[in-house]
Structures are given as structure tokens and as C-alpha cells.
Amino acid sequence: PARFRRPVAFGVGLALVCSFALWAATRWLFSISTLSREALEGGTALLAAAVLIWLVLGLTAKGGHVAAMRRKLAGTATVRTVALLAFLVVFREGFETVLFYEALLVDAAPIPVLLGLVAGAGAALAVGWMILASGRKLPLRLFFRATSALLAVLSVMLVGAGVRGLQTAALISATPVNWFPDRDWMQMWFGLFPVAEPLILQGLVVLLFLGASVSRQRQATA
């Protein structure tokens, strides 16, 4: 309805401001912290991985996080609740984006990361305009499956990079795995290191995704 346009715009605008403030606070923390940079970067990568894992499980669950929030607000849609919903949805994405890009900047150069950010934002705006202009809906099932697969791979990568960062900071022990290939491209693109601790944790994350997938298939069959 037209009466909800201003609350939605207010919630979205406030979420964007808070997201930029979070990014600035993160940069400031990195610059003044007495902790080692490796420890902060490793912790940030693990936190980003946890958020991505939660998001993947929610996207592939029945209805997902957004549907659950809609059910909670059903029948109670007021100006305040709509503004709050708009803020929470956008700020959650902003929070994930800040964590994700901070984790990417651990090993990547800033220019390619920023170029990817601009390209992704442009693509999102273009797709949104096409949907609004054509009045058609995306094939959401295919879209969520592709998105979930990509986020799952990224979460596994961030888990490996995060644990390795903590090991570099000498916060946890490192057990070399001689049989695992030591390749720079595997470490950069997939976070796969010839070290037991990150490989074990990454294996557990993969098992979590596989278990969730099997459970969903059984529920669908039932």
C-alpha cells in the first residue's frame, strides 16, 4: 500500500547508513587494535562464514528466513513494524556484506574487490529494474539454489581462511598434512590449506550442508 512507502524508505535508508557506519567502525578497529592483524582477520572470516552458513540453511529451508519473518508479522503490519522489517532485512544484508568483503580483503587486492562490488551492485540494480519493468517474477527456486550453492562454497572457503589466520597469529595449533596438495590457487580461491585443523572444520561444514540437503529431500518425499 502507498501508506507503507515512506516507512519502507526510512527503514532502508537507516539500514544503509548503519551499514556504512559498521564498515567505518570495522576499518577503525583494524587500524587501532593492539591485537595482531592475522587474529582479527581470521576472526572476521570465521564470523562471516557463520553468517553465510546460517543464510544458506535459511535459504534452502522451507520458506526461508524472509518467509518466517513475514509469518511473524502477519496481521500486525503497522507503520512501525514495516519500517522495522525494512531496516532488519537491509541491515542484515549490509552486515553480511561488510563481513564478507572484510574477509575477502585479507588476501585480495582492494581494486579487484571494489570492482567486483561495483559490478555486483550494478547487476543487482539491472535485474531489479528488469523485474519491475516487465512485471515478471524470477524463477525463485532456481535462483535460491544457485545462490545457496555459491554461498556454500564461499562459506567453506572462509572457514579455511579464518582458521588459517588464527593459526598464523599463533592462537591455535597447526598440524601439517603431507598428503594434501600445497597449491597457491587452491588456497586463494577455495581456502584449502595442507593443514589438518581447517580441513577438518571445512569437512564438518560440508557434512552439515549435505545433512540438511538429505533432510529436506526426505521431508519433500514424505
Q: What is the pLDDT of residues 140-149, one digit of tens each?
A: 667 667 777 8
Q: Across the strands, what pairs with 32?
A: none
Which pLDDT band, with edges at 50, 70 and 90, does 113 fall under? Answer: confident
Measured distance CA(106)–CA(188) in Å, rounded: 10
Q: Residue length, the chain?
A: 222
State in Å, rounded, how far the first CA of the chain is from the last one: 38
State the cell numbers at 221: 518425499
pLDDT of residue 67: 55
Estimate to the nearest angstrom the gap between the alpha carbon of 127 and the chain centroid. 20
Among candidates 208, 186, 194, which has minimal Cα distance to 163?
Answer: 194
Which pLDDT band, with edges at 50, 70 and 90, does 167 fall under? Answer: confident
Degrees to nearest 5, angle at CA 186 with 182 and 192? 80
Residue of 68 and 170 predicted with greater confidence: 170
